[in-house]
Amino acid sequence: MVAQGDLAKDVQRKLDKAIARCIRHLQDDQLRRLTLDRGESDRAQVENAPSLSRLLLSLNSTAASTLADEIDSLYELDESYSLFVPATEPSARTATALLTAQTLVGLLRGLETFTQLVYYLPAGDSFPAALRYVAVPLRIKDQPAFPYRGFMVDTARNWYPVDDILRTLDTMASVKLNTLHWHITDQQSFPLQIPTFPDLATFGAYSADQIYSTVDVAKVVEYARDLGIAVMLEVDMPGHTASIAAAYPEHIACLKARPWWRYAAEPPAGQLRLGRPDTLAFSKRVLQDAARLASSAFFSSGGDEVNERCYVEDPETTAALDARNATVDELLGEFVQGLHETLIESKKTPVVWEELVLKHDLGLTNETVVMVWMDSANVRAVAARGHRIIHAASDYFYLDCPSPLLPAPFGTDLVSAGGAGAWLGRYPNGTSWCDPFKTWSKIYSFDPLFNLTSDQHELVLGGEALLWSEQAGPENIESIAWPRAAAAAEVFWTGGSVEEGQRTVGEALPRLHDWREA
């Protein structure tokens, strides 16, 4: 329990930090109006306008809580806010704006909006100081259409310094995304420090200086929390786990089997063994430790791209299958159910990729949240099974997919413009499985409720933009992710359908221009 006095102090500290961020942004930003003269025609009116001297923040809540408490319950939280900037008489010297919300997170969302309403003019002949101004009057009442609005970053294929993750969080906050989906381990590396099994990172990371310590993760979680963002970790199991073998090879089946594409979606081959009690106990403890590090109420155990051939050709797994007269799906179900029991005990809601519901008959409860990634059309089948859904469709939201296909200089083949083809080395035409490039307007055209019945609408929690990092890293994350991820953010904040005219690309374009300039 937090004492009332301590609660008030915590609320004030968090608001002070948010206000300081807002002030820094207003002081540093030089966003000019998107007109031919970049707002110069506003100068005379702005120079003679009253000053906006104050922005009052009002937290209208009867149930006070800390920001940490709000992040714990983020997907049931009221993120709405109201912002009023009044018109004033020319004779008035000052004006006061008002921002109200029911929650601290709501105030954070409103502050982000306020900073993006302010335009800049450099000092001129008649006015020696730079000008910052807001077009008034403004009255905004705003709230998200969906509770989950995320961005996924993959730090296993390529490692990102913590500062780059923090900078990404700043950008996420500016478009009101509320969840960092941190895909932190995979086939290629295991950079996450697990207290019970420190050798996982010691031997599984790319190098000793490319490890996320528990202190690093706590820093990211705390920074995100101050921005109103939850961190959902993903430790993908049982597939995508070859990197575990660097420290614990006894738990991995078909390690580095060749040719790799028969045994895995990406090299090197290798996935956690099924039907082996100590492997399940090991995996549960890994998730238990990882769950303690994350702030989101959700935790992803992955579950995609499980390769059956890997198991039926692995002597230990086939022995378990024969001894128990079981199928691969039965052992897989036992494994996943065990993981989810641990997550639930850790007060986390399990999240999985769609195959564990659509491809494998595991009997997962409807408390399990499903991320639909293979095809947006699969949402209907997941909804029919009663699971809550997070949109992550590769045909809309995969930011790593290559540039649009263009005619090759010679012949009739198509090539990827921009050089972002597959990284696997077995596609001689250079294209990718998820061609073509997903433009911001393609992303913006997505309808979150398409092909669902009205009764199924409540199953849609929201969605996210995803950046797999085979060819992304700290040096290019911003140019790959933005502004396209901002288009996804608007889809899940605003809701509605482009087809039905509830959102339009034409209306969104000026906002994205402004956002890119900010």
Catalytic residues: 305
- Which amino acid belongs to residue 387? H
Q: Are 356 and 328 in contact (CB under 8 A)?
A: no
C-alpha to C-alpha distance for 492 and 464, rounded to whole angstroms: 8
Distances in whole angstroms, Cα of residue 420 to Cα of each of 404, 416, 423? 10, 7, 8
Terminal Cα distance for the chain, rounded:
41
Beta strands in 240-355 (DSSP E): 252-253, 271-272, 298-302, 349-353
List, as one string, the DSSP characters of 224-266.
Answer: HHHTT-EEEEE---SSS-GGGGGT-GGGEESTT-SSGGGT-SS
Phi, psi of 55, rounded to the nearest 5 degrees: -120, 110
Among residues 277, 216, 269, 275, the alpha carbon closest in space to that of 244 is found at: 269
Contacts of 281 (CB under 8 A, 6+ apart): none
Helix (H) or strand (E) holding 41: none
DSSP string across 406-436 = EE-SSSS-EEETTS---SSS--TT---TT-S
- Two tokens, residue 150: 């995320």
Pairing of strands 148-154, 179-183: parallel
8 A C-beta contact, residue 382 and residue 375: no
Which ranges in 125-213 belong to alpha helices (H)?
162-174, 199-204
| Secondary structure class of 139 (helix, strand, coil) | strand
Distance of CA 248 to CAs 194, 211, 428, Å? 13, 18, 35
Written in H, E and C, the secondary structure of 58-108 is EECCCCCCCHHHHHHCHHHCCCCEEEEECCCCCCCCEEEEEEEECCHHHHH
CA distance 217 to 195: 12
User: And the tokens for 393?
Assistant: 């469709």
**Which tokens belong to 313?**
């050709």
The residues near 401 (Cβ < 8 Å, ≥ 6 apart) are 394, 420, 432, 434, 435, 436, 437, 438
Separation CA 480–CA 233 (nearest Å): 22
